[in-house]
């Protein structure tokens, strides 16, 4: 499997479920009576009148939020950005090792915190092949946990729900669109109207880029990620594919054919180096975490056999932060990473026209 920075393969750790649940209940009782040992930055939201109770449906049922959340923890990808775009600072966020700075803070998140004159929230360990940081989350005394774009399991959701109201993804893990993340976050915080305005601004940004590049319209596109043993393409279930369609591209038929070999709802499809020439398209978009990774891809015989290489219609996004910004984009990263993505696509599209 490739280095998918935002698709955390959550699984149970070595501690027993019963042990974690018991510790959570005990700690919750203590913190409810104790002093504030939580984040340096409480959640704060713009005034929007009285809060109306809301019910959020998701893959594991329904979450009823009766009172306006004031201490929110985010898990996974995108919900931190959605909150900040709405002017609300979480009390706890997961570190983002891929694309983040030495502390695990993404550049567009750091920029927005500075704009809001807010301190960095408490940084939680990223749940990479592990459980969410239950005990540390508990210490923050959240009244809401947002995980609309994550990979939490039903068991993990159950344990998080013992700590605070928890909102999971709508249907499939790691497949929630940016629009859904912003909408769910806005509804959960009582800021649905503000969320609509955030989305309208994003739509306008993407629409402007599309209008400036009519050469994108109707061209087919495929995405490609490099693994040490395989290549990967993203399916239409993946949000990063959606932004390419929003820019005017069409998903290549070869991607749809490969998707038939994957599990239902899969966001990516692996295939061997020897099958690389099956991934045909007018434009090929590659994601590489570094120049070294790009060089390894370009030296691969399977990659060199692809027709887009000879045609000169390959767009390249290189660098962890650059890849993170557009794969998939968030309420904050879309404006941070879109210009570089569009420039790369424009060069490839011109060669394909």
User: How many CA atoms lie less than 13 Å away from 222 in the CB half-sphere?
Assistant: 28
Q: Where are the alpha helices (DSSP H) in 87-191?
A: 107-115, 134-139, 154-163, 178-189
**What interhelical angle do 333-352 and 192-212 show, nearest 10?**
20
Distance of CA 334 to the CA centre of its chain: 11
Q: What are phi and psi of 247, to 5 degrees?
A: -80, -10
pLDDT tens, position by position, 293-315: 999 999 999 999 999 999 999 99
Q: How confident is the model at residue 266 (pLDDT cuts 50, 70, 90)?
A: confident
**Under 8 Å between Cβ of 225 and 293:** no
> What is residue 158's predicted lDDT score, i.e. its pLDDT?
98
Closest Cα partner for 262 from 249, 272, 271? 271
Question: Where does the pLDDT of residue 327 fall: very low under 50, low under 70, confident under 90, or very high at 90 and above?
Answer: confident
Residues 6+ apart with CB under 8 A from 108: 81, 325, 330, 332, 333, 335, 336
Band the pLDDT of 50: cuts 50, 70, 90: confident
Mean pLDDT for the stretch of residues 111-130: 92
Kindly tell me if the per-residue pLDDT of 215 is higher than 90: yes
Question: Can you give the pLDDT at residue 328?
Answer: 83
Residue partners of 310: CB distance under 8 A and separation at least 6: none
Does the pLDDT at position 107 exceed 60? yes
Which tens digit of pLDDT belongs to each residue from 191-212?
999 999 999 999 999 999 999 9
Please give the domain boundaries of the chain with CATH numbers for all domains: 17-191 (3.40.50.1980), 213-352 (3.40.50.1980)
Section 134-148 average pLDDT: 98
Cα 174 to its chain centre, rounded Å, is 7
Residue 54 predicted with pLDDT over 50: yes
> What mean pLDDT is predicted for residues 116-136?
91
Which positions ≥6 away from 293 have C-beta within 8 Å?
Answer: 226
Q: For 1-13, write each residue's pLDDT tens digit.
A: 344 443 432 222 2
60-106 pLDDT, tens digit per residue, is 999 999 999 999 999 999 999 999 999 999 999 999 999 999 999 99
- The answer to whether 139 and 27 are in contact (CB under 8 A) is yes
pLDDT confidence band for 123 (50 / 70 / 90): very high
Q: For position 291, what pLDDT does the model report?
A: 97
pLDDT of 128: 65
- Say what the pLDDT of residue 174 is: 87
HSE-up (13 A, CA, CB side) for residue 191: 24
Query: In the structure, what pLDDT confidence band is assigned to residue 46 with cuts at 50, 70 and 90?
Result: low
User: Is the pLDDT confidence value at 221 over 70?
Assistant: yes
More confident residue, 11 or 49: 49
Q: What is the pLDDT of residue 238?
A: 86
Q: For residue 114, what pLDDT band results from cuts at 50, 70 and 90?
A: very high
Cβ-Cβ contacts under 8 Å for 94 (sequence gap 6 or more): 74, 75, 76, 80, 104, 123, 124, 125, 126, 127
């Amino acid at each position: 499997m490739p280095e998918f920075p935002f698709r955390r393969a959550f699984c149970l750790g070595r501690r027993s479920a019963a042990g974690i649940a018991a510790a959570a209940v005990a700690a919750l009782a203590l913190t409810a009576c104790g002093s504030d040992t939580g984040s340096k930055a409480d959640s704060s939201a713009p005034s929007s009148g009285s809060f109306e109770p809301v019910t959020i449906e998701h893959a594991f049922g329904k979450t009823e939020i009766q009172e306006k959340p004031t201490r929110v923890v985010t898990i996974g990808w995108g919900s931190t950005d959605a909150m900040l775009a709405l002017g609300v600072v979480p009390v706890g966020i997961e570190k983002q090792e891929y694309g983040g700075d030495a502390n695990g803070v993404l550049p567009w998140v750091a920029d927005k915190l500075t704009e809001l004159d807010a301190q960095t929230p408490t940084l939680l360990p990223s749940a990479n092949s592990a459980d969410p940081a239950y005990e540390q989350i508990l210490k923050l005394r959240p009244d809401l946990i947002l995980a609309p774009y994550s990979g939490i399991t039903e068991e993990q959701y159950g344990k998080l729900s013992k700590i605070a109201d928890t909102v999971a993804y709508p249907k499939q893990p790691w497949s929630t669109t940016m629009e859904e993340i912003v909408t769910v976050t806005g509804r959960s915080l009582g800021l649905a109207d503000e969320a609509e305005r955030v989305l309208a601004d994003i739509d306008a940004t993407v629409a402007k880029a599309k209008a400036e590049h009519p050469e994108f319209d109707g061209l087919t596109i495929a995405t490609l990620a490099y693994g040490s043993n395989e290549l990967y393409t993203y399916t239409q279930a993946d949000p990063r594919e959606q932004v390419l369609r929003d820019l005017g591209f069409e998903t290549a038929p070869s991607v749809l054919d490969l998707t038939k070999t994957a599990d239902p709802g899969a966001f990516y499809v692996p295939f061997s180096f020897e099958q690389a020439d099956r991934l045909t398209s007018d434009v090929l978009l590659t994601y590489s975490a570094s120049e070294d990774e790009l060089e390894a891809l370009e030296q691969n015989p399977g990659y060199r056999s692809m027709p887009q290489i000879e045609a000169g219609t390959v767009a390249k996004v290189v660098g962890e932060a650059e890849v993170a910004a557009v794969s998939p984009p968030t309420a904050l990263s879309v404006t941070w990473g879109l210009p570089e993505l569009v420039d790369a696509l424009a060069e490839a599209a011109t060669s394909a026209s």
